[in-house]
Each structure stands twice: as C-alpha cells, then as structure tokens.
Structure 1
Amino acid sequence: MKTVFWDFDGVILDSMKVRDYGFEKIFEKFSPEKVQKLIQYHRENGGLSRYVKIKYFFNEILGQDISESMVNQYANAFSLIMRRELTNPDNLIDETVKFIKNNYTNFNFHIVSGSDQDELRFLCEELNLSHFFLSIHGSPTPKTQLVGDIMRQKEYNLSTSCLIGDSKNDYDAAQSNGIAFYGYNNEKIKDLGVLYIQTFEEFTLS
C-alpha cells in the first residue's frame, strides 16, 4: 500500500458519545423518543454527514419538510458543541495515532470524513494532527466523491490505495472507488467479509 484514506470518527477520534450529546442538545425541544430514533440512526450510519442526519430526523422521523437554511442552522449549532467538546486529547484513539505518527512519512495519508470539513480541520489543528496528512476533507461533500476526487487529482493507483473505516458507509466509499477496505473498531462490519484490524499495534500496511 502507498495511499491510505482515513475515516476520522471512531478510527482516530472516539467521538460517538459526544456526537450523541450534540444531537440531543440541538433537538432538545423535540420528543426524547423521536431524538433517540435519530441517535440510533446516527450510530448505525457513522459515515454519513450531520446534514443527512438532520434531514432524516425531520423528513423520516418527524414527517416534516425542512429548508436548507434550517438544516445549516442546526448543523452550525451542532458544530459549535463539537468544537467545544472534542478538542480534549483524551478522546484520541491512542493506538491509531501512534500508528499514524510512526508511518506518515512512508505513505500518502488523507482524512475523508462525514464530519463537517471546517470543524474537522479545526479539530485536527487543535489536536496537533494536521501535519500527518496530505489533505483533510469532510462534509457536505459525500465521502465516495471525496475519495474519487483525490484519487483522480493525485493519480493514485487503485491497487495500492485503501480506506480504513468503521462503518458500512466507509466500506461503500471504498467499493465505489475500486480500492481496498480495512474495517476497524466495529465488530459488526466483519459481517461484510472485509479485512479487519483488531489492533493497530499488530497491523502493518503491505
């Protein structure tokens, strides 16, 4: 392998509980039962952006329409909470960060995330991660498109590129672009028959 696309949440940063809290907070005026349905959807679709999840909450759970401007208002409120809560380095997944630090000079590392791009870059700066990656990209651009765009721009070889993620959405992004996929930090993803990283302490990119 020469090129690695990294998912962020659940792979580099243990952020699920904080993001649960973020959705609960921005939708605190709505029925707790309805919000819990969103939390379940959020946990099952870690690779999807908050924009998609906010629309899902209104369209599918509440049965209501929502304008793009309102989606952006909720997304901005969510981002403010994330910027405040996720800059704690205790949320970093140590074994992943150690692997990245030890290998970033030997590979082309890129972050492709469902997280908001501006927020993602802010967090990477605050957590001293930015210099390990050639680029850091997030939503609202879908992950499948992010990977494809970088592959074309950099003229990377499909056979020497892979994506490391913790959700089916990550797997789909790899499959759509014809590159290898490694699952991590989500035992359920093994059901897809994928290569799986039990721990980065025993993992080597070959």
Structure 2
Amino acid sequence: MSQSLNLEKYKTIVLDCDGVVLNSNQTKVDAYYNTSKRTGGTDEQAQAFVDYHIKLGSIPRNDKIRYYISDILKQPYSEELFQTLMDTFTEILDETLMQCEVAPELEHLKQRTAHAKWMMMSGGDQAELRKIFPRRGLDHLFELGIYGGPTKKNEHLAKMIADGTIQFPALFIGDSRFDHQASTGAGLDFVFVSDWTDMPDWQSYCKQHQVTVSHHLELQPYTDF
C-alpha cells in the first residue's frame, strides 16, 4: 500500500459515472444485450454488441449503435433504425439506473475535497444523466455540471480547459482505458477505480502505464494486483 493521494492540491475533480459513481457497468451490459434482443437481434448479435461495448469502454452509445447497425446487423444505416435502437436502450436503462448502487464513499470524498469543484464526465447520454441524477438526489455534488455523450470525453475536456471551467491541478477518477487516455492526454492526473470496472485485463494495463489504482472512492492507492 502506497501513501494516500494528496487531494488537497486539486482545484477540479472530474468523475466518470458508470463503475465510479454508480455500480452500473453490468446494467449497461444488460441494456446493450436486451436492446438487441428486443429489436429482433439474435443471441450472437446481442453478444457481439456487448463485446463491442466493453471493448470501447467510455465511448458514447451513438457510435456503438452505428457500429451495431453496420458491422453486426450488416444493414445500411437508417435514421429510423438508429432512433429505434436509441429509444429502446434509453427505455431499458432509465428504470435500471434508478436502482443502481451509489459508491459508498461518494459523500465522504465530497467532504474530503470540499475545497475543489466537481464535475461528472460520462460516456453515457448527457440528457439522460441530467434527468437521472436530480431524481437520485446526487446532482448537487457536481457544481461544474454533468456532461456526457454524444460528445466524447476528450472533446469535453479540451473545451472546458480552454474556457477555464477546469482549473488545474485537476484529477480525473475513472475505470476505463479511454478515461485514462483522455484525461492524461489533457494534462489531468488520473486514478483508476477497480472494484466495479468491466475493463478486461485492467491489471496489466495499469501496471504497464503505472496508473494509480484504488479499490473505489476511498482513493487509497494500492499495488497488490
């Protein structure tokens, strides 16, 4: 076990949603599978959709659904089919996101970092998140706002650094390869939280890239993986 992170220095803290704030990674997996099945997909097509979702990690669902149409269903793109899939996914997810476990250390971390401002940055749909979080009574934690797809995280980060919304030093807390790449590429520090991740082989990735890992939002780095 290494020493605690120096949270005192950060002016901005950015948190991913799925697998970080909410225990919703499996919920998303199920939603991709059931979206395929509910719209006529085979078991194989539904599993391929799930596999692609897991491979891409925190990429907005719009891109995954376009891939599903072109490369899994092997159909010409149509706006009608795209919207049907989007609507089906949203309907399935809306109910389940209201039931997901919230990270136990979330409120404690907020107290520990009272000097910093928080924002959420998710691969999930932005409009959906901005409906769910007030209903769950969690939106007040994120003074700088809640952001998501279809805009990608690296694009959000670039814009908010440029307009001064993100003040440095800044920390990103995530659970995917893309979270790490997008945040460090933009100059933020990064912590990977492991307990709810669905990233395959995250241990070797974090070792290779010397990523700080915590079980969850207690943010006590550990190396026993």
Whether TM exceeds 0.5 here: the answer is yes
Distance 1:100 1:152 in 2: 27
Superposed CA RMSD: 2.0
Match of residue 17 from structure 2: 8
List alignment gaps of at least 5 residues for structure 1. Answer: none
From 51, 55, 71, give the equivalent of 2:66: 55
Q: Secondary structure at the match of 1:174?
A: helix
Alignment of 1:72 with 2:89, yes or no, is no
Instruction: Indicate conservation of the 8 Å contact 2:121/2:146, yes or no.
Output: yes
From 84, 93, 110, give the equivalent of 2:95: 84
Please report how far the alpha carbon of residue 93 of structure 1 lies from its aligned counterpart in structure 2 after TM superposition. 2.0
Distance 2:109 2:163 in 1: 23
Whose helix fraction is larger, Structure 1's or Structure 2's?
1
Instruction: Indicate conservation of the 8 Å contact 2:20/2:217, yes or no.
Output: no
From 141, 146, 155, give the equivalent of 2:151: 141
Give CA-to-partner distance per residue, 1:116-159, whole Å, 9 cap, x none.
0111111111211100102101101111111121222225444x
List alignment gaps of at least 5 residues for structure 2. Answer: 1-9
Greater displacement, 122-131 / 99-108: 99-108
Percent identical: 26
Give CA-to-partner distance per residue, 1:5-41, whole Å, 9 cap, x none.
1110010111122212212222111111121111122
Match of residue 7 from structure 2: none
Match of residue 152 from structure 1: 162
Give CA-to-partner distance per residue, 1:152-175, whole Å, 9 cap, x none.
2225444x0121110111112113
Aligned pair count?
A: 201
Q: 1:68 to 1:18 in 2, by over 3 A?
A: same
Distance 2:19 2:215 in 1: 14
Instruction: Indicate conservation of the 8 Å contact 1:47/1:167, yes or no.
Output: yes
Instruction: Indicate conservation of the 8 Å contact 1:100/1:132, yes or no.
Output: no
Greater displacement, 107-116 / 166-175: 166-175
Instruction: Indicate conservation of the 8 Å contact 1:59/1:65, yes or no.
Output: yes
Instruction: Indicate conservation of the 8 Å contact 2:33/2:49, yes or no.
Output: no
Q: 1:68 to 1:149 in 2, by over 3 A?
A: farther
Alignment of 1:32 with 2:70, yes or no, is no
Instruction: Indicate conservation of the 8 Å contact 1:8/1:111, yes or no.
Output: yes
